[in-house]
Amino acid sequence: MLAAGVAGCLNEQSVFLHPDDSRRVHAARAETPGGAEASTRRWLVGAEKQLHDLLPDDRARELLTADLTDRSGAPVDVFAHFGINPRTLQSVLGNYPGLKCTAQGASQELTIDTSPPAWPGFDDVWIEMPDGANLAARWGRARDAGGVRDADAIVILPGFFGDNGVKRTEALAAFLRDAGFHVLALEMRGHGQTERTQPQVAYTFGVRETDDLMHVADWVQDQPHVQRSGLIGFCWSANIALLSAWYEHRPPHDANITPTIAENLPARPDRVRYAAGIMAFSPIVQWERLVDALQTEYSLLNQPVYAALQDTIRARMERKEYPHPSGSLRDLIEDEYQRCGVTLPGGTMEGYRFLRLAPYAGRPLTPKLVHARMPVLIVHGANDPLAPAQDVADLVATVHNPHVAALILPGGGHVGFANYAPRYFYSLVASFFDPVAGAAGSATPPHLAGRPDAAPAQGD
């Protein structure tokens, strides 16, 4: 919904690609000296060498994890590297390429009143959560000449209030299935057909949804012919994907989860989830700054992306019949939490702490991504007009975990990578999840995936 009105003549565009037109990296993990297990960061270095020529010929080269900090460990100036004026990111004159990719890559309509058209090779399924909520999804199984094949399964999440009507999701799902992966395109609480059939089930912006993703992984891994599970998220769902990397391996009694929230999270089996890896495209790392910014009303003329986002927020508040519709994301979060059925003594700030990925205004935060044990890759566009790329560098400077890597590309805007560099985008995704040469490779043996005694993949 983000792109509506960003540039009036630009519309959402599908970018379908057949796997034969993509490129798989070869043995990127094998570059680790001494035969030690390769980290995600080292895998990315090897993969980027093999994929770089698929990017447009931009003025500045992409930045990898190690490039995002200087010798002292401080974050580099991302905008200076790419020659970008951050004050013009929402300006058509100052950032037309970024706005164009954003408009073409983000959804402009909701598919709630009717189900989106069928996808060839996919079935509509429902996944029941412990609290009785049912999540709508589309499930596609990879096949070969012998029928359904054994393979990893990749879960795809929509962007901010998106659903399976998003063209990007359908195109990516079709590509991955044709590339040999099982695929589940999920509509979370408050999204798509999940919202249409259960409007009373509130969206909590990642608190319940992060736990839901654990149960979704269990459902996926219990399906025949599924080995491991992987996860892809875009925009706000990229935040939830990153939270899942923490939540899966968080320590007991994690300080980021208040006792009240902990009491309302259902017990779940001790299993290995998302061992195939997690990709987070265009996360809103400093989302609380976005919440602050949207307290002011904007127009399409001065801040088109903020204005379009506020239209989405206002439309949701009206559809949900909240009392005071506005463009305030803070008010929407408050309204949704009021309907979630959980009374929080500390108010929504308890949820904010759960959702926080980076330090903000002195608010409490115990580092999260240090606990990730599966490969995690953050992919961001330097000209993202909504979520500043500098925030990714600032985050990486605080995450000393070789399982977590980051890549900032010269373009792509916000979630518009398939429109910016389609062969690169699809090649990167398929290569990251490649069961042999990918970031996880065969670190967790497929026959152990999903078993309580299976150890998470270890890095160096």
Mean pLDDT of all residues in 219-226:
97
Identity of residue 135: L
pLDDT tier for residue 443 given thresholds of 50, 70 and 90: low
Query: Does residue 4 sit within a domain?
Result: no
| DSSP string for residues in 413-440 | TTT-HHHH-HHHHHHHHHHHT-TTTSSS
The dihedral of CA 243, 218, 145, 439: what is its sign? positive
Query: Does residue 255 sit within a domain?
Result: yes
- Check whether 446 has a pLDDT greater than 70: no
**Block residue for tokens 């497929």:** 446
Mean pLDDT of all residues in 114-132:
92
Query: Does residue 3 sit within a domain?
Result: no
Domain that holds residue 141: 19-448
pLDDT tier for residue 224 given thresholds of 50, 70 and 90: very high
Residues 6+ apart with CB under 8 A from 76: 63, 67, 68, 69, 70, 393
- Check whether 249 has a pLDDT greater than 50: yes
Higher pLDDT, 136 or 269: 136
Query: Does residue 10 sit within a domain?
Result: no
Predicted local distance difference test score (pLDDT) of residue 27: 67
Higher pLDDT, 182 or 163: 182
Query: Does residue 233 sit within a domain?
Result: yes
| DSSP string for residues in 121-141 | TEEEEEEE-TTS-EEEEEEE-
Query: Does residue 85 sit within a domain?
Result: yes
Query: Does residue 117 sit within a domain?
Result: yes
The CATH number assigned to the domain holding 80 equals 3.40.50.1820
Query: Does residue 50 sit within a domain?
Result: yes
Mean pLDDT of all residues in 182-187:
98
Each residue of 382-405: pLDDT tens digit? 999 999 999 999 999 999 999 999
> Within 10 A of 56 (CB to CB), how many other CB atoms are there?
12
The structural domain count of the chain equals 1
Each residue of 405-438: pLDDT tens digit? 999 999 999 999 999 999 999 999 999 999 999 9
